[in-house]
Structure 1
Amino acid sequence: MDALDRKILTELQRDGRLTVTELAARVRLSVSPCHRRVRDLERSGAIRGYRAVVDPAALGLHFEALVFVTLRWEDRDTVIEFEKAVAEVAQVIQAQRLFGEPDYLLRVATADLAAFQRLYDEQLAILPGVHRLTSTLVMKHVVDDRPLPQ
């Protein structure tokens, strides 16, 4: 990956709806080579996809929590079962496996505190292998969905 590829990635992270013509102009490249580079970045996996960034409030999701999960055991089967089950919980909008303790960090979005409590009691607490859940509420997003540094 060279400096031109990095410029293309920077521009697409800012606005994934750019046409190839607009993108080429921004990175000072002709359209055909720009298009070829974008295709190569997609094929290599550097560009994993395109999406719309949606305001959670527009969907009625006004409440967000971070849930730290500690598993009872960390054997292969428990980890696989837990990760498969957590991937099925629609309100979990991000899940990360961590080194050390806790084992996982889940970012959860719900309509309100009551909806979060139901989710916590009825789905999160019964995930396979869960030993302990600890949650904290998100007060405000200070840095959110920032493009990756180049």
Structure 2
Amino acid sequence: MIDKIDRSILRSLQQDGRRTATALASDIGLTVAPCHRRLRELESSGVIRGYRADIERSAVGLGFEAIVFVTLRQVDRATLAEFERQVIANTHIIEAERLFGDIDYLLKVVAADLSAYQHFYDEELSALPAVEQLTSTIVMKNLKAGAGLPL
């Protein structure tokens, strides 16, 4: 069970995942040993899934972002599994969610620019298994990316 101290650790790490156990312990009012033990437990139990750099997309040539709504022709188990496998493997699709309702999936896609996205749309998105309809919305401005959980 996650208690107040664990939540404090998680809240702090969401702000800065590179914090040392010593700095983390100091911030939340623990000594290093129990803080380090709690941190290892949060990692081993899967609460903390990993650490990574938050990269500015435009700085690496991926400043274009689109949200794509996908409706499939068929939703049998094999088709869904193959669709999801291909989506997970595609590096330009940075987020993907399966939805209830008329739309089956929401995908967040990055590309260099509109032309690169159009090529990606024609060659890769439309070739995904059982795609019946793709609807794209271009992101004008990202106001709140990777905000973290309200702990």
TM-score normalised by the chain length of structure 1: 0.98
SS in 1 for 2:10: helix
- How far did 1:90 drift? 1.4
1:47 aligns with: 48
Count of aligned residue pairs for this structure pair: 150
2:136 aligns with: 135
Question: For residues 62-120 of structure 1, what are the alpha-carbon distances to aligned partners after superposition, in whole Å with 9 as ceiling and x for unaligned?
Answer: 11000000000111011001001112221111111111121000000000000000000
Gaps of 5+ in 1: none
2:6 aligns with: 5
Question: For residues 26-59 of structure 1, what are the alpha-carbon distances to aligned partners after superposition, in whole Å with 9 as ceiling and x for unaligned?
Answer: 0000000000000010111110000000000111
Runs of 4+ in 1 over 2 A off after TM superposition: none
1:149 aligns with: 150
Tell me how far apart the structure 2 counterparts of residues 62 and 38 of structure 1 sit (CA, whole Å).
Answer: 34
What does 1:1-150 correspond to in 2, within 5 Å?
A: 1-150=2-151
Tell me how far apart the structure 2 counterparts of residues 40 and 132 of structure 1 sit (CA, whole Å).
Answer: 44
Tell me how far apart the structure 2 counterparts of residues 89 and 47 of structure 1 sit (CA, whole Å).
Answer: 24
Gaps of 5+ in 2: none
Root-mean-square deviation over aligned CA pairs: 0.7
Amino acid in structure 1 at the alignment position of 2:8:
K
TM-score normalised by the chain length of structure 2: 0.97
Q: Percent identity?
A: 55
